[in-house]
Amino acid sequence: MEPTTCRTVAAPVVARLEEKRSVFECWLRRVEDEAQARVVVEEARTVHWDARHHCSAFVLGPDGATVRSNDDGEPAGTAGTPMLEVLTGAGLTDVVAVVTRWFGGTLLGTGGLVRAYSGAVREAVAAATVLPRQLLRLVDVTVGADRSGRLEHDLRAQGVEVLDVAWGQQVTLRLGVPVARADRLLGELARLTSGSAQVSEVGSTWVDLAPGPAG
């Protein structure tokens, strides 16, 4: 079943930690696709040109189905995969994490690397403002101009998103309806308009809801 809600980050976050004089800086950002994620990785390489490693992980899609990670020269499995596990464990999607490491002269071992890379991402996630997203079904409702004002008022009072209003001989309201409410609302529209409305479903769209803390 297609997901109807997901979570991403509302704004970019930077977090740092130090382990045996090695510094790990995490950039956590919202991205729309794989190309944007890779742009963030390349930006980190450019900005932090003096660092040895720029390891990355990203999760994409409402269901988090697209995942990638890269150890960027660190021992296999010590950076990208632990970073990815933090993102998926937090239930985030459409995000990229890039952890830049400046080597401090002391080898950390595989366990130390895993803790440091995952820890840097965990710090960024903890500092992030999470942005919930919701899938809305798009419904066009066409009524006479004499009914449109009252209908729009009643719909907004019920928490229905009126995304657009097109005026003509008749008025068409484009509604964004949470999937769980869509079937019930179709029946409600018939009542509100005494059966006079023309109703058609025209697709779906994802919208951002009010942000909140990661925890």
Same domain for 206 and 105? no
Which of 127, 155, 177 finishes a domain? Answer: 127
Tens of pLDDT, residue by residue over 189-200, are 878 777 778 888
- Within this chain, do residues 42 and 137 fall inside the same structural domain, yes or no? no
Residues 87 and 121 in one domain: yes
The pLDDT of residue 214: 57
- How far does the chain reach from its first CA to its final CA, in angstroms? 27
Number of separate domains in the chain:
2
Is 48 in the same domain as 118?
yes
pLDDT digits (tens, 9 = 90+) for 174-188: 988 888 887 788 778
Q: For residues 125 and 92, give the distance between their C-alpha atoms in angstroms, rounded to a whole number.
A: 9
Q: Which domain holds residue 117?
A: 5-127
CATH number at residue 121: 3.30.230.30
Pick the last residue of a domain from 106, 127, 148.
127
Could you say which DSSP state residue 11 is in? S
Asked whether the beta carbons of 28 and 9 are under 8 A apart, the reply is yes
CA 35 to chain CA centroid, nearest Å: 16
CB count within 10 Å of CB 136 equals 22
Tokens 């403002």, residue located? 129
Mind listing the pLDDT tens digit for each residue in 70-122? 999 999 999 999 999 999 999 999 999 999 999 987 778 889 999 999 999 99
Q: What is the pTM of this model?
A: 0.83
